[in-house]
Every structure is written in C-alpha cells, then in structure tokens.
Structure 1
C-alpha cells in the first residue's frame, strides 16, 4: 500500500521504496531545505531500509547547490547502507547538468519513475530471497503512484 509521508516535499512510500518529488526549481533558495528533508527521509528509514528515489522529472532548473544537496544525500545513503536513485527527464537542462557533473556515475539515474521503482522492487525481492525470506510479497507493494495523482481507471 502506498503511504504519504508528512514533508514539505511531495513524498510517498511502500515497504520497498520511498519517492520524493522535487520542485520545478532547486537553487540556493531551497537546496538546503531539500537536503535536510532528504536526510530526514534517509534517517527515518534507518540502515538498510528501502531505496530513496529522488524524482526530478518535473525539475526544470538546478544549480550547484542542488548538485551538492544530491551528493550529500548520496553520501548519507551510502553511510546508512541505503540506495539513492534519481529520475531525470532525458531531455532538458537538469539532464545536462547531471551529465556534465558526472552525477550518474555516483547516483544511479533513470529516465522515468517506473524504471526506478521496478529496480527498487526487484532489488527488494532479491534481498528478501537472499535473507532467507520466502520471497513472497503482497500485491499492496506493486509499483504505482499514490492515490489521486493519476486516473484510477
């Protein structure tokens, strides 16, 4: 089941992943708050918890403070034994900044949210099997956006 998380960032989670949706612009005016919120989401889950997917699909501008916030979040995730994924529109200035700064070398980057969620779910299932779990999972954790964000037809 998808659960919203109280945060200034639109954020939702299942037992297998957490998604934090970034604003249209990330710059010095909000990057430090975003970093603090990403740290909170990472710390809240603790060591080895579900991956944090940073969704920058709708982000149209980011500066060096945004890059720094993402790198700091990646460092925190690594220290906690968690994964940090980024979703970036394949066309646009944010993708160019990612490519120029080599962020995809440090943060696994996807062109769409569905691909990031799919990897998070598969990885969680693999880890369940590796930990001696039965490998079963409830349908509640199927990758899907939170209620009310898409047509539920």
Structure 2
C-alpha cells in the first residue's frame, strides 16, 4: 500500500500526478505542493490521476480543488482521472467534483482531450 506522495510524470505536453493508494490528512498537503510546483514550473497542462487511489477523504478533494484554482489562475488546462466505479468515484460524485473539474475515465482519454484542446487554440 502506497501512502506517500504522488508519482510525477512530465512530458512536453503535460504533467501527470498519479495519486497514491490513499489520500488523507497525512499526505494531502504534500500532494498539493507537488501539483503546485508542477504548475508553477510551466507545465502546459496537468492531469491528476486518481485511478490507483482506493481511499480519498476531504483532503484529497481539497488537493483537486486547490490544484484546479491554481491551474485556472495560470491558464493551464487540468483533467482529473477517476475510475467509473469505487469509493473514490462515489465521494467525488457526492461532493459535486464533476461540476468543477474536467473528468476522464483514464489517462489516455485525458491526454486526447488535452491534445484536442491544444490543437484548437
């Protein structure tokens, strides 16, 4: 079980933060700091990948919301990858996350959406 910080992958087109198995008070702030550093470094787009995450409390939702706010300030498109089922998806749905951020079922779909948006700019 991975209770640490997010795994970071950087390409020319986007930065991807893959969340650990669990996000809570013990690691939420550190994950947000990773997202903030990535955004502030000039990444052209951001994907927050929650597909391996099996537990996400309000701290995880806070990471997503604050990351979206920072991305918006910088004009950086952001997508959140949520599996179609499971507790993390249910918590996100109850919190209304889909009304605030773009959601994709997998990283490939998020990358295609970002590439399509970039092509239309």
State the alpha-carbon separation in 2 of the partners of residues 69 and 9 from structure 1: 11
- Name 1:105's counterpart in structure 2: 99
State the alpha-carbon separation in 1 of the partners of residues 67 and 61 from structure 2: 10
TM score, norm. by length of structure 2: 0.91
TM score, norm. by length of structure 1: 0.73
Q: Which runs of 5+ in 2 are unaligned?
A: none
Q: Which runs of 5+ in 1 are unaligned?
A: 1-7, 128-153
- Name 1:77's counterpart in structure 2: 71
- Name 1:29's counterpart in structure 2: 26
Larger gyration radius, structure 1 or structure 2: 1
State whether residues 54 and 87 of structure 1, in contact with CA within 8 Å, keep that contact through their aligned partners in structure 2.
yes
Runs of 4+ in 1 over 3 A off after TM superposition: none
- Name 1:4's counterpart in structure 2: none
State the alpha-carbon separation in 1 of the partners of residues 91 and 77 from structure 2: 21
SS at match of 2:90: helix
**Is the counterpart of residue 93 in structure 1 residue 87 in structure 2?**
yes
Deviation at 1:14, TM superposition (A): 2.1
- Name 1:65's counterpart in structure 2: 59
Deviation at 1:13, TM superposition (A): 2.3
Alignment RMSD (CA, Å): 1.2
